[in-house]
Copies of this chain bind each other. A is one copy, B any other.
């Protein structure tokens, strides 16, 4: 699936997780800061709010909105599940899949990528390490995001602490898939971390606490976007 005009590389995707700082009306406010930076810098910034906030965020901003997960189901009798059609109708243009905090069985990742494609949703599949990234790459998602789980939320940037994880991922993924967009994440907190990620061969970053829990999220998003320009 081709990426939409508003989501070009290099890109920044902000995962709101279930942080209170990015729940409900605060989700919309944070998304507006992301939109402002995107408009000012020309860098693509996407946001992934909680399911219940997708509609309000999509209505409030004109940047790409992602679900944080979809279930491998078709419409029917599935109480408490997340239907691709539902997040799509609420305004999402894509979805995270298999985040390390919401990991899926392999066959469910395969299904979720296919359902994303069938519903015209951008699939951003997360992976823990280079070998898992290569496995994911064969499923042909739109985006792969490599995040070593041991660094998530630590403030220790993967691009500094484990650069070889990124370069190995890029190398293994490119052996089986030349088109997929590759992002990295975990511990990204400063512009230089973003610049390093791009230098190591990725096309952007997937971030969460570094922005959501920042004192001044707008300033950090701007710093990330500026560091993405080369």
In chain A, residues 126-166, which have Cβ atoms closer than 8 Å to a Cβ of chain B? Answer: 127-129, 131-132, 134-139, 152-153
Q: Is the CB of A24 within 8 A of B77?
A: no
Please, which residue of chain B has its CB at the minimum distance from the CB of A70?
Answer: B80
Q: Is the CB of B153 within 8 A of A18?
A: no
Q: How far is the CB of A39 from chain B (nearest CB, A)?
A: 25
Q: Give the size category of A's interface with B.
A: 35 or more
Tell me the complex Cα distance, A63–B179, Å.
45
1/0 contact string of A5-27 vs chain B (CB within 8 Å): 00000000001011110011100
Report which of B48, B99, B101, B176 forms a contact with A138, defined as CB distance below 8 A.
Answer: B176
In chain A, residues 63-100, which have Cβ atoms closer than 8 Å to a Cβ of chain B? Answer: 67-69, 73, 75-83, 85-87, 89-90, 96, 98-100
Q: Is the CB of B79 within 8 A of A17?
A: yes
Q: Is the CB of B83 within 8 A of A110?
A: no
Q: Is the CB of A19 within 8 A of B80?
A: no
Q: Is the CB of A107 within 8 A of B90?
A: no
Tell me the complex Cα distance, A160–B15, Å.
42
- Residue contacts A-B, CB under 8 angstroms, 20 given: A15-B79, A17-B78, A18-B79, A18-B83, A18-B86, A23-B83, A50-B83, A50-B86, A52-B52, A52-B89, A78-B102, A79-B96, A79-B99, A79-B100, A80-B99, A80-B101, A104-B105, A106-B127, A131-B139, A138-B172
